[in-house]
């Protein structure tokens, strides 16, 4: 599988690896997800960046050379309404050429508005594709509605987004079934919207503040098997490996199947321009800076890519 995956990766992506960083703008959330540090019932330090804070954070991030940012919020329409997110995107457009969103699901018109502000792609984790498990681990909040979340990527494409990313949070249920369902979900959307840029994220459940959720243990071998299967099944799809994973694992999966890697990561609210203002969603395993990631990629014969898209 690894040999076949490497061949497909080189055929469609060459030796290029995209680098980005996430920015958490808020950690307020209305959902009761049992596996998440942002759970509305968790007693954590909540915070929301002002637009001035957002500008400072993005200015600092851009000085590292990065041209892509992923904007994240907790899933609270009250605390992170569409006006707030629109402001984040407009600020990001001053500093970056590629802007991603990982926020609560929206309707088509709302996605269209954010696209007009400068957003390029949307990431939505279905978490688990097992409806009965999904219901048990989402006891309250808007996220409890399985179907509305499931159709988020299609609404984003209908709203004009250039790309969408899919992901199952491996460890919540049978990881092979979730990976199969996630791959099928992405495949069917690619068939329906052949112009769309489709990609996968590869998150495993990580420890989090005040977390007590008991998850299935997913080994690095298991995670690698999923990544290789995604690459063979959809060889032209992007694949992101996050800082949830160890430096050694990330260094070895890029070029094999992964095509995008995060760097200089803070999963608390803010944390780039100054001390983070709110608690983290989960614990990261790879805190390396942009320069450190770039040097590792170059040493391995890979080409770090900060931007591969130009608006005309």
Check: CB of residue 40 under 8 Å from CB of residue 143.
no
* The model scores a pTM over 0.75: yes
CATH architecture, range 2-300: Alpha-Beta Barrel (3.20)
Domain boundaries, the chain: 2-300
Q: What is the DSSP string of 128-161?
A: -S-HHHHHHH--SSGGG-HHHHHTHHHHHHHTT-
Q: What is the pLDDT of residue 304?
A: 96
Please state the rounded mean pLDDT for residues 140-152.
97
Q: What is the pLDDT of residue 230?
A: 98
CA distance 132 to 81: 30
Q: What is the pLDDT of residue 273?
A: 78
Q: How far is CA 35 from CA 22, 137, 144, in A?
A: 20, 8, 14
Q: What is the pLDDT of residues 11-24, one digit of tens each?
A: 999 999 999 999 99
Q: What is the pLDDT of residue 284?
A: 80
Question: What are the φ and ψ backbone dihedral angles of 180, each rounded to 5 degrees?
Answer: -60, -45
Q: What is the pLDDT of residues 69-112, one digit of tens each?
A: 999 999 999 999 999 999 999 999 999 999 999 999 999 999 99
What is the longest distance spanned by two Cα atoms in the chain? 49
Tell me the Cα Rg of the chain.
18
Q: Which residue has the higher pLDDT, 1 or 280?
A: 1
CA distance 269 to 249: 26
CA distance 248 to 212: 27
Which of 13, 11, 1, 4 is CA-nearest to residue 254? Answer: 13
């Amino acid at each position: 599988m690894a040999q076949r995956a490497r061949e497909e990766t080189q055929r469609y992506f060459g030796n290029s690896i995209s680098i980005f960083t996430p920015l958490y703008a808020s950690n307020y959330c209305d959902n009761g997800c049992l596996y998440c540090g942002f759970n509305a019932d968790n007693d954590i330090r909540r915070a929301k960046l002002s637009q001035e804070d957002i500008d400072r954070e993005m200015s600092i991030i851009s000085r590292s050379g990065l041209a892509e940012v992923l904007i994240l919020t907790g899933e609270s329409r009250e605390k992170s309404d569409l006006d707030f997110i629109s402001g984040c995107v407009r600020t990001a457009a001053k500093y970056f050429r590629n802007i991603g969103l990982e926020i609560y699901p929206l309707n088509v018109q709302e996605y269209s508005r954010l696209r007009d502000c400068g957003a390029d792609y949307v990431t939505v984790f279905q978490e688990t594709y097992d409806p009965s498990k999904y219901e048990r681990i989402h006891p309250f909040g808007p996220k409890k509605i399985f179907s509305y979340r499931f159709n988020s990527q299609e609404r984003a494409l209908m709203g004009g987004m250039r790309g969408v990313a899919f992901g199952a949070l491996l460890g919540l249920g049978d990881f092979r079934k979730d990976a199969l369902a996630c791959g099928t979900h992405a495949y069917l959307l690619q068939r329906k919207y052949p112009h769309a840029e489709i990609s996968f994220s590869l998150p495993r459940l990580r420890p989090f503040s005040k977390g007590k959720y008991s998850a299935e243990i997913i080994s690095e071998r298991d995670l690698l098997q999923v990544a290789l299967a995604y690459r063979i099944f959809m060889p032209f799809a992007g694949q992101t490996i996050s800082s949830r994973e160890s430096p050694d694992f990330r260094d070895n999966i890029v070029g094999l199947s992964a095509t995008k890697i995060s760097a200089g990561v803070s999963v608390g609210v803010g944390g780039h321009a100054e001390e983070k203002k709110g608690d983290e969603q989960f614990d990261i395993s790879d805190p390396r800076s942009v320069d450190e990631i770039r040097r590792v990629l170059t040493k391995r014969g890979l080409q770090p890519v900060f931007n591969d898209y130009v608006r005309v």
